[in-house]
Amino acid sequence: MYDFTALIGSITNLLNETFSPFWAGLIMMVSLGVALLLFYAVLGLYLVYAERKICARMQNRMGPNRVGPLGIFQTIADLIKLLLKELIYIKNADNFLFNIAPFIVIVASIMAIGSIPFAKGLQAIDLNIGVLYILAISSMGVIGILLAGWASNSKYSVIGAMRSGAQVISYELSVGLALLCIITYAGSMQFSEIIASQQDGWWLFKGHIPAFIAFVIYLISGTAETNRGPFDLAEAESELTAGFHTEYSGIKFAFFFLAEYMNMFIIAAIATTMFLGGWLPFHLFQWHGFNRVMDFIPPVFWFFGKTAFIIYVMMWFKWTFPRLRIDQLLALEWKYLLPINLMNLILIAFLTLMQWHF
Amino acid sequence: MAFLKTIKEVGHYFYEIYDGAASLVRGMKVTGSYFVRPSSIVTQQYPENRATLKMFDSFKGELMLIHDENNKHSCNVCNTCARKCPNGSIEIIYKKVEGADGRSKKILDKYIHHLETCSFCGLCVPSCDELALKFDQKFELAVFDRSKLTKVLNKPGSSSKAMKE
Amino acid sequence: MEETLLDIDMQEKEEYIINMGPQHPSTHGVLRFETCLQGEKVKYLIPHCGYIHRGIEKMCEHLTYPQIIHLTDRMDYLSAHINNEAVALCIENAMQVEVSDRVKYIRTIFAELTRIASHQLWWCAFGMDLGALTTFFYGLRDREKILDIFEETTGSRLTQSFNTPGGLMSDIHPNFQKRIKEFITYFRKKLPEYDQLLTGNIIFRERTKGIGMMTKEMAIDYGVTGPSGRGSGFHCDIRKIAPYSAYPFIKFNEITLTEGDTYSRYLVRIAEMWESLNILEQLVDNIPQGSTMLELKVIKAPKGEFYQRVETARGELGVYIVSDGGPSPARIKFRTPNFSNLFVINKLAAGHKIADLVAISGSLDLVIPDIDR
Amino acid sequence: MQAEELTNLIALWVPEQKPGISKQYPEFILPVEKLLEVMTLLKENSTTKMDYLFCLTAVDRKDGFHVVYHITSSEFLHSAVLRVILTDKVNPIVPTVCKIWRTAEYFEREVFDLFGIHFDNHPDLRRLFLEDDWIGYPLRKDYKDAFTLER
């Protein structure tokens, strides 16, 4: 039920029958690209809106409520404003790098979205090394941040960029190791197979305590990798005004802003796929009636529901905790998360070897 | 003994981790509890609630010269308020007329309040022996043109109560 | 510090100088820290002030004593009432008149409310300095209740100008006591939330403990007063040392801690909010009857020199009046708490990270117009 | 320590001191050359221990600039006011006390900024509030500028 494989297959067949293989491929690519871009923009805008509403509620405020009912068009209005704003030319900045930096950041996050499975068959490309691909692509974004900080010719920006570089490179390890735990369990790096391996239970539940530890570590280091929440040292508003994007304005700033929210979505989507069973519905062991009801909810809803929950938790972190200091941030990674992660991995390898997981 | 001490230290180490995590959860409980309670919203919707928005009686808004229903105020041009004002915001322009008894008498021509230099210290109102002044409840004092901030407080055609005719 | 920074060859010394301020989110006003960094570490910093110098002391030489009051509002605008009270007390001392007990009680209630409001604002801004953005709204939400009490009686929320030499501008509003009692019960419930959100938080404790150590000797040497000084064990509460207004009539504790780091300065302020609630509780039901204004024909200080110390929310405020017997002072000097508190920051922040500099300057609770005057 | 004891003590150290006019705190007018010596004694003497300078300012009077030091002891809580009179109004010089109390460094910078009193041996005597190229010293009585509100 709700399988997109047949639908996508029929569309592919139709295109292949109507056009030559070259044109069919081109049309496929272009339509896919446009669809992803639209999805990216709309989702990014509404994540910004959601964050503003959520933080407002946590702070006893109402949040945006002027443009449209409940302010749902507020972020679109903001985007229009950003589009119309002047792009400020920075004296003595390295103009080429300065202009290219936001594109690197945003391209990295768009590319990452391509391999995320939204539902069965609804996935732009199902690579057999999907996890590796995501890790490789999402760590490309930091190059954009470093370039932005360096090319801005601003002292605050350089400090922010250096912090961001140190932070992302450190936390990349934890993200990778936490995901490696699930790869060990599932025995595959392909997203569709990882999801298929969770048919009888999500890894968070059937992976015992090690999987839970891996999940917590993944959430912490994922938050850190997106430069958000208590780990927003790269932009540390009260210390560095805005960190690496201090000198950016208009649409270039909007790119950074949107990329931050989309990175958060990507981190949450991977967590959903790896730990929470992706688009699979929630099943309880013997309650067949309950399971049937759950099956009726489309997988897209399951996927976005779980992702939204994780995004909410990340926003909750951000709006509650004070920011860490740079040395504490690195100490947390290298002294706590990394050793725990390594031990956790050994434990999981042992559990998998003995077939002790459910 | 050393063994016990080590046990204690290890216990303390794990207690610290637990304590740290618990402190984070406590903080999240506060924000989370407000998130699920929309009734805790304290902000107001300003231009919409303009009709119900009432300032307190003693609110120091715009300065005004009290006029009664016959368009009469009670300023007798003693200039006390202008002298009490620390910023020189009050300017009283008067003209001299012949009174009924033949002596020249000052009557108010223009009572000018320079709102742009007023610091709302409230010294002028109690200084008036005739109780001619009070603070209005009006609080939306922003204007687009600085010249609009120079206000003439006596209404056109008004006259002083002290003047009999 | 002998040589100006322009003389230093920055390339050679490998110094990385950033200007924090005058427009910077963490300086809470127009103050500039010329900060020399080595990586993330602060090597030294030079505070530059004067961006909001208005020459209040010079202006006061041309104003009469009642007119001076409204200028003191604009020094430390967060303890406006206490500044007013200092000038009023100084002039009353000079004229050798004594206000009624009613005035004393009301002044003290206002002063303690001001102290709570100021500490609330400090708490939310301090949280924001450390990156906890939600604290800002909780602090302001609770502060609003106090400002409403102020507004109902005085007509202003921030710069009340409620004191005048010889008494108060008006009597209190009939709702005054009821509202304060409501506030006390309300705030007693909300203060534990502050602790849950920030004080107990492990990140917060790690960020503040052991940061910006100030010994007692240093605090005295630099003249750091108020909660910042008391966090180092310096007994500098003027309410205890030289009681004024209604403080001799009531029981309260001077809160001192001996650690001297950012965290203890934080704890002192939180504890002072609790203590101020206790003081309010003692006073609010016992406001005696009496007139709120002395019948003073002329307000003129006799020839001589007068000094009055009061405890504002940030430390010791001194008002030094030199009078020739006229209606205006010949010289008035405000010894403002933030002025002395600011300059210790170089000593505290050197060697710490740039993020700690923000925490330290937040914990000193600087109000810039009070420094520049 | 009571006011009389303090008066006796200072009279012992500086016979040429004169009592001041203020009744609020014990006040002493010192000659400029004796200032540093008396200040150091006041801080280090175990019976006075005046370790906290809570106000340092200057006043422009007819007989010259008065530099006024309000000091107190954080332990014994007794206070004193010391005053030096600089009769040379053109080029007033007074020794700095910032080696004794560090807080004096900035009070003295402020006084230099607004009165033009030069503090000898001060480590960093620059303008504090006004711009470096400001002409004149605003708190002097003979200072004139176009913007001061006169009444």
Cβ atoms < 10 Å from Cβ of A60: 20
Interchain proximity B31–A61, CB inside 8 Å: no
**Rg of chain B in Å (alpha carbons):** 31
First to last CA, chain A: 25
Query: Cα–Cα distance between B53 and B46 in angstroms, integer?
Result: 8
For residue C189, what is the domain's CATH number?
1.10.645.10
Domain housing B10: 2-40
- pLDDT tens figures, A112-157: 888 888 877 777 777 788 888 888 888 888 888 888 888 888 888 8
Contacts 24+ apart (CB under 8 A), C204-207: C204/A322, C204/C130, C204/C132, C205/B23, C205/C263, C206/A324, C206/A325, C206/A328, C207/A322, C207/A323, C207/A324, C207/A325, C207/A328, C207/C130, C207/C355, C207/C356, C207/C359
Position D54 pLDDT exceeds 60: yes
Written as one letter, the residue type at A27 is I
Cβ atoms < 10 Å from Cβ of C231: 29
Residues 119-178 of C with CB under 8 A from D: none
Contacts of B42 in chain A (CB under 8 A): 60-61
Position D31 pLDDT exceeds 60: yes
**Would strands D93-95 and D79-86 be described as parallel, antiparallel, or unpaired?**
unpaired
Instruction: Give just the sign of the alpha carbon dihedral A319, A322, A325, A329.
Output: negative
Query: Cα–Cα distance between B47 and A145 in angstroms, integer?
Result: 41
Query: Cα–Cα distance between C4 and C34 in angstroms, integer?
Result: 11
Tell which residue, A57, C61, C225, C114, has the closest CA to residue D103: C225
To test the contact with chain B by mutation, choose from C70, C157, C298 the residue with the greatest count of B C-beta atoms within 10 A, namely C70
Chains that touch A (3 or more CB pairs under 8 A): B, C
Residue B14 domain flag = yes
Position D96 pLDDT exceeds 60: yes
Per-residue confidence (pLDDT) for residue A178, from 0 to 100: 87
Determine the distance in angstroms separating the CA of A177 from the nearest CA of chain B, rounded to an integer.
22
**Nearest CB neighbour to A321, from listed B24, B35, B42:** B24
Q: Touching check for B59 and chain C: CB below 8 Å?
A: yes
Count helices and strands in chain B by DSSP H and E runs: 3, 7
Chains that touch C (3 or more CB pairs under 8 A): A, B, D
Determine the distance in angstroms separating the CA of A145 from the nearest CA of chain B, rounded to an integer.
29
B96 and B143 co-located in one domain: yes
- pLDDT tens figures, C337-351: 888 888 888 888 888
Torsion angle of C-alpha atoms A48, A104, A107, A235, degrees rounded to 10: -20
For residue B140, what is the domain's CATH number?
3.30.70.3270
Contacts of D151 in chain B (CB under 8 A): 88
Q: Which residues contact B90 (CB under 8 A, 6 or more apart)?
A: B81, B82, B111, B112, B113, B114, B124
D36 vs D10, higher pLDDT: D36
Determine the distance in angstroms separating the CA of B123 from the nearest CA of chain D, rounded to an integer.
17
B70 and B25 co-located in one domain: no
Query: Cα–Cα distance between A118 and A123 in angstroms, integer?
Result: 6
**pLDDT < 70 stretches in chain B:** 99-100, 162-165
Interchain proximity D59–C372, CB inside 8 Å: no
B33 and B73 co-located in one domain: no
Residue C320 domain flag = no
Per-residue confidence (pLDDT) for residue C2, from 0 to 100: 44
Cβ atoms < 10 Å from Cβ of C233: 19
Per-residue confidence (pLDDT) for residue C100, from 0 to 100: 86
Interchain proximity B38–A57, CB inside 8 Å: yes
Per-residue confidence (pLDDT) for residue C5, from 0 to 100: 47
Tell which residue, D111, D82, D99, has the closest CA to residue D6: D82
Domain housing C83: 64-298
Contacts of C228 in chain D (CB under 8 A): none
Task: Tell me the longest C-alpha to C-alpha distance in chain A.
Answer: 68
Q: Which residues contact A81 (CB under 8 A, 6 or more apart)?
A: none
Phi/psi at A124 (5° precision): -65, -45
**Could you give the percent of chain A with pLDDT greater than 70?**
98
**pLDDT < 70 stretches in chain C:** 1-14
Position A96 pLDDT exceeds 80: yes
**Nearest CB neighbour to C134, from listed B31, B84, B119:** B31
- Count of structural domains, chain B: 2
B76 and B144 co-located in one domain: yes
Per-residue confidence (pLDDT) for residue B164, from 0 to 100: 53
Ranges of each domain in chain D: 3-90
Is omega for the bond preceding C302 within 30 degrees of 0, making it cis? no
> What's the complex ipTM?
0.84
Per-residue confidence (pLDDT) for residue A357, from 0 to 100: 64
Name the residue of chain A whose CA is nearest to C211's CA.
Answer: A325
Cβ atoms < 10 Å from Cβ of C173: 17
Contacts of D81 in chain C (CB under 8 A): 307
**D3-90 placed in CATH 3.40.50.300:** no
B81 and B151 co-located in one domain: yes
pTM: 0.87
Per-residue confidence (pLDDT) for residue A284, from 0 to 100: 72
Residue C327 domain flag = no
Q: Touching check for A21 and chain C: CB below 8 Å?
A: no
Cβ atoms < 10 Å from Cβ of A15: 17
To test the contact with chain B by mutation, choose from C60, C67, C160 the residue with the greatest count of B C-beta atoms within 10 A, namely C67
B36 and B67 co-located in one domain: no
B34 and B69 co-located in one domain: no
Position A1 pLDDT exceeds 70: no
The structure tokens listed for B113 are 């309040």
Cβ atoms < 10 Å from Cβ of C57: 20
Phi/psi at B101 (5° precision): -90, 10
Size of chain B in residues: 165
For residues C61-92, one letter each, b for 16 or more C-beta atoms within 10 angstroms of the residue's C-beta and e for the rest, the string is bebbbbbbbbbbbbbbebbbbbbbbbbbbbbb
D14 vs D99, higher pLDDT: D99
Q: Which residue has the tokens 């001392």?
A: C93
**Nearest CB neighbour to C131, from listed A159, A163, A323:** A323
Chains that touch B (3 or more CB pairs under 8 A): A, C, D
Residue B146 domain flag = yes
Per-residue confidence (pLDDT) for residue D150, from 0 to 100: 54
Determine the distance in angstroms separating the CA of B130 from the nearest CA of chain C, rounded to an integer.
17
The structure tokens listed for A277 are 């069973």
- Count of structural domains, chain C: 1
Name the residue of chain C whose CA is nearest to B125's CA.
Answer: C169
HEC per residue, chain C = CCCCHHHCCHHHHCCEEEEECCCCCCCCCCCEEEEEEECCEEEEEEEECCCCCCCHHHHHCCCCHHHHHHHHCCCCHHHHHHHHHHHHHHHHHHHCCCCCHHHHHHHHHHHHHHHHHHHHHHHHHHHHHCCCCHHHHHHHHHHHHHHHHHHHHHCCCCCCCCEECCEECCCCCCCHHHHHHHHHHHHHHHHHHHHHHHHCCHHHHHHHCCCCCCCHHHHHHHCCCHHHHHCCCCCCCHHHHCCCCCHHHCCCCCCCCCCCCHHHHHHHHHHHHHHHHHHHHHHHCCCCCCCCECCCCCCCCCCEEEEEEEEECCEEEEEEEEECCCCCCCEEEEECHHHHHHCCHHHHHCCCEHHHHHHHHHHCCCCHHHHHC
First to last CA, chain B: 106
Query: Cα–Cα distance between A173 and D131 in angstroms, integer?
Result: 52
Query: Cα–Cα distance between A344 and A216 in angstroms, integer?
Result: 12
User: For the residues A223-239, what does the mean pLDDT come to?
Assistant: 80
